[in-house]
Structure 1
Amino acid sequence: MDQTQKLINDGNAAVDEMLTGIIAAHPNHLWRPDNAPRAVVARHGPREGKVGLVIGGGSGHEPTFLGFVGKGLADAAAVGNVFASPPPQPVVDAALAANGGAGILFMYGNYAGDVMNFDMAAEMLEMESIEARTVVTTDDIASAPRDAREKRRGVAGNVFIFKAAGAAADMMMSLDEVERIARHANDRTYTMGVALSACSLPQTRRPNFELPVGEMEIGMGIHGEPGVRRGPLQSANAVTDEIVDAILGEMNAKAGDSVAVLVNSLGSTPLMELYIMHARVAERLAAADIRIHSALVGPYCTSMEMAGASISVMHLDDELTTMLDHPCDCAMFRVG
């Protein structure tokens, strides 16, 4: 099998070289503590008396997680290798840099390695008398049935869920309140994706799964986890309808309700195709008398160079609308 082509120097150094580039490109937003190369901290985020929001996970999903570190959103991120959880130490490093004395909230997608390592980090922080709590994101409706929602994975809906929690922390709410809003945001966010081609890791440069030309996989995860259905590639409208039907089936929205929408590229799918999908999403929601309060279209949670897209919908109420509209200023994401 042919190797894929990538603009890298050394596959094993790709993550650290990327981090060097991100810090060089965004010095007004981001910095790294000495001796903590895999912890990235918001230049204007952490402050005394504020809950520290620490996010993180594997690399390869940029701008998730690094792009959402900044004032009004996450205070710090712990960075793992490509598609691999960060070890406990970078999580601790990130938490110490984010600590304002009001507790730490860890947020990340629901993957076994992340859960294990962030839990170990929380125990290490306990020894330093720092309280750390966790909210895992579970927005991927294709990854487990509704009655086993706690087993679902966290994917592109992270953008909305982290945003809500980050706003609550920025408003100087208590750890109890920030955690409550994070859980509430997660409970009202729904995502489903479709993959059209595989991605490859920098170390191997070989596709990490096989998807024949002319086929698509609905519900595939952001690391290539199996989806719910594989079949011939369909039109943008047909694929969008299948995803919107699944989300509306779970969301329980009434006529007149408002939502936030994200049409997300998994890496190599261009904006043209995402906007074609968004046109259909908007048409379908208008037909159901559901108002789009805000929309994001573009690469927000990628999977290296995977072709495909996902649609995320957050079912808004007054509180979540306030949180999404609260200003934030991050390296790769801004509101207000």
Structure 2
Amino acid sequence: MLRWHPYDGMFVCDCRGRVEHRPALVLRRTGFLARHVTPAHPEHSEDCPFARDPTEGREIVRSYRHPAGQVLRLLGPLQAIGGERHEVARVAYATPRSAVAQLLMRAVVAANIQQVRCGEDRLGLSQQYAEIRRVAADIRVAEEVTLQRVLGTNLDGLNRVIAAIEGVEPRSWRGSRPVGVIICQVDTVEPHLLRAGPERVLEVAGRISVFGESADATRRISPQTPGLAAIVVARPEANERYRALKAYVHPCYGRGDLMLVDSDYERRTLREILDTAAWMLNARKVGMTVEKPVFDIGLPVDEADAQGVRTFCIPDFVVTATDRDLEAVMDLRAGNDQAVGHDCP
């Protein structure tokens, strides 16, 4: 929320709560709001929507486009883990989407996990994992290495992923750091651990990023509200052993379904949509398809620049009546779990 101060020509923001010195913005001649950082006005909170200048805003929007055909560089050059050791961080739509998150989104979209066709049997959990392994052949983690070659789908499959990395010819990694990936459900996130049930535990040496618009998002991954994790396996330094270096965790629909959702509020809403769709099919013979988008579907950023910097457009759900020319775009507003909504231009 912004409050206009006409005497000094700036907006004061409450993104850091009720503090003595609040972040501020000033209006530029270009029409953009710019951050105004002084000793009296600190930096904005990282998830504040007013904290971005136009260039930074465009880069954030681009990070939410579908990275079709791109090689996903999951790690930079070899370096020590340093200050990121054992850190759990919350990420939200106000922050750029990482390459690890992009990889997870690409995999579930290609596997058709983000779409439900009412009246058709939903794939079981093992079949959903099998589909992810199948489509991983079209996702590259190096110019000559597909995700399929270095992918595991069990939290206790670290050694198998390491063996797969070492089985790739070194020359195939030219220009890229050798990595492997584990994609699996987790139900507990701790500062240095991911857990799936009481016995399957994986230590993560670096940062674990958990998606959630609410401040306590990291505590909302549980056996009742699990998350889908993408875990990067690599050497921290050239002379060290392979380890799980970092992970990205996104809430998913349930223990038997890997469909990504943004909050428990969206889980409950999806159940209501599916119940309504089942009634429409049985009572009115109208089939429906429900999709949960995870990529920006708005104009390409460069095309939108003439109209000013836009935010990305990711509807919460898209409901389509099959065999009829009907489509509904659902945009949830903040409920008890602060579900996020985005207006589509």
TM-score, structure 2 length as denominator?
0.27
Query: Which has the higher relative contact order, 1 or 2, with Cα contacts under 8 A spaced 6 or more apart?
Result: 1
More helix by share: 1
Work out which of the two has the higher radius of gyration on C-alpha atoms and give 1 or 2.
2
TM-score, structure 1 length as denominator?
0.28
